[in-house]
């Protein structure tokens, strides 16, 4: 009986250990991966920006244009990084970077906005606080120098999430947001694109070649995240068309529990997929966090299993790539920037290139344009 009891006890221990291993591996189930070491502790702060995605190749870019775009991206990256490095909030960092990108005519936001079919400009923007999931957005404004400022005012000083058109502009006046004449947004390059579109009966995609929407995502030293996006839309848009940029969950989303995302691309498809929210929701529902599964011990102190979950960065990248593949399958192009609560700054795009940059408190500081940068 003693031998049988001993054997029975050992078998129960084996079965328990097997069940624990199986249950831990099952947690990683949807993301094929072997057990890995834990990731390092999260970065103190992290930041990423984009200036649009599309048909961007080295062959079509002069050295001067390449350098100018990289300098503009670096300036915006530095502006947001400075806020974070000095202990500022993720919201302030996102705003600081997008302000510079809206004032830079090389990008399709603010001063560099494309023309509508009628020859005007209609601007969209949104911003979201990952700590509270408060959000603000504006659509179809025509005289707001920096739509991202107005989007934030909608969030903080109105009971609403989105305002559009004249109502948004009236609210801007009440809030002291800078108003400019519509001609402020005029640029010769964008005007030529509209004229070429009309003369040759081209589509917006034929003349735009890239989606110049700008955006930023940030993780601050308090562990809070934020995301923001701003755009002029698509060349020749009509009937008050609104894309994904001002739509919370499509072009912008931030949630401290999962991630912060800003998107750029063919808005109709990003809206249909709900790209920004889809990525964050999938990541949250996976239940992943930084670090390994804690060791589990038996009653006598024996360590039974210590299995690490797949690395957060790998999980997040896989999810982002899957969602962008879904956009591509429907016929849409574009890209996203993504931050995780651990500070991983990631990109995913299904186009030839994307204007982008990232920086962290660990010393990462880089900008890129082409797919093979």
Per-residue pLDDT reduced to its tens digit, 54-90: 867 787 789 999 999 999 999 999 999 999 999 999 9
The CA distance from 361 to 184, in Å, is 37
pLDDT tens digits, one per residue of 270-321: 999 999 999 999 999 987 544 333 334 444 544 433 334 457 899 999 999 9
How many Cα atoms within 13 Å fall on the side-chain side of residue 26? 6
**Hey, which residues does 37 pair with through a beta bridge?**
none
pLDDT of residue 157: 98
Beta strand segments in the chain, E? 46-54, 123-129, 135-141, 162-164, 210-211, 214-219, 225-231, 252-255, 259-265, 296-297, 303-305, 334-339, 345-349, 353-360, 365-370
Q: At the top level of CATH, which class does the domain 40-290+310-370 belong to?
A: alpha beta
Answer whether residue 209 shows pLDDT above 60: no
Residues 6 or more apart in contact with residue 255 via CB below 8 angstroms: 130, 133, 225, 280, 284
Find the catalytic residue in 43, 116, 213, 360: 213
Q: Any idea which of 68-77, 200-209, 257-266, 355-364 has the lowest mean pLDDT? A: 200-209
Give me the mean pLDDT over the 32-49 stretch: 59
pLDDT tens digits, one per residue of 122-146? 999 999 999 999 999 999 999 999 9
Mean pLDDT of 44-62: 88
Residue among 359, 77, 336 at smallest CA distance from 69: 77
pTM over 0.85: no
**Per-residue model confidence (pLDDT) at position 99:** 98
Cβ atoms 343, 53 nearer than 8 A: no
User: Does 16 participate in catalysis according to the annotation?
Assistant: no
Distance in angstroms (rounded) separating the CA atoms of residues 246 and 234:
14
Going from N- to C-terminal start, the domains of the chain cover 40-290+310-370
């Amino acid at each position: 009986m003693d031998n049988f009891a001993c054997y029975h006890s050992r078998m129960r221990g084996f079965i328990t250990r097997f069940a624990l291993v199986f249950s831990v591996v099952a947690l990683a189930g949807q993301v094929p991966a072997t057990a890995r070491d834990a990731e390092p502790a999260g970065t103190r702060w992290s930041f990423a920006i984009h200036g649009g995605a599309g048909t961007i190749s080295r062959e079509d870019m002069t050295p001067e244009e390449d350098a100018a775009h990289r300098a503009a991206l670096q300036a915006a990256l530095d502006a947001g990084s400075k806020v974070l490095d000095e202990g500022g909030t993720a919201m302030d960092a996102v705003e600081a970077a997008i302000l510079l990108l809206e004032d830079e005519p090389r990008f399709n936001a603010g001063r560099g906005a494309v023309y509508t079919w009628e020859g005007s400009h209609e601007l969209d923007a949104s911003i979201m606080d990952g700590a509270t999931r408060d959000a603000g957005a504006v659509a179809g404004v025509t005289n707001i120098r920096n739509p991202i400022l107005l989007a934030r005012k909608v969030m903080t000083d109105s009971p609403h999430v989105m305002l559009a058109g004249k109502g948004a502009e009236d609210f801007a006046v009440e809030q002291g947001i800078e108003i400019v004449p519509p001609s402020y947004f005029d640029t010769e390059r964008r005007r030529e694109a509209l004229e070429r579109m009309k003369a040759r009966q081209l589509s917006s995609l034929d003349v735009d070649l890239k989606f110049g929407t700008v955006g930023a995502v940030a993780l601050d030293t308090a562990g809070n995240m934020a995301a923001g996006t701003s755009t002029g839309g698509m060349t020749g848009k009509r009937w008050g068309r609104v894309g994904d940029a001002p739509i919370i969950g499509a072009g912008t989303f931030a949630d401290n529990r999962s991630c912060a995302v800003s998107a750029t691309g063919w808005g109709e498809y990003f809206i249909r997929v709900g790209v920004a929210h889809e990525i964050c929701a999938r990541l949250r529902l996976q239940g992943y966090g930084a670090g390994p599964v804690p060791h589990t011990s038996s009653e006598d102190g024996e360590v039974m299993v210590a299995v690490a979950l797949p690395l957060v960065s790998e999980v997040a990248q896989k999810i982002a790539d899957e969602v962008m593949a879904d956009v591509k399958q429907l016929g849409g192009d574009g890209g996203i920037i993504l931050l995780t609560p651990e500070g991983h700054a990631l990109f995913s795009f299904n186009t030839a290139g994307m204007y982008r940059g990232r920086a962290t408190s660990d010393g990462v500081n880089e900008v890129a344009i082409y797919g093979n940068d």
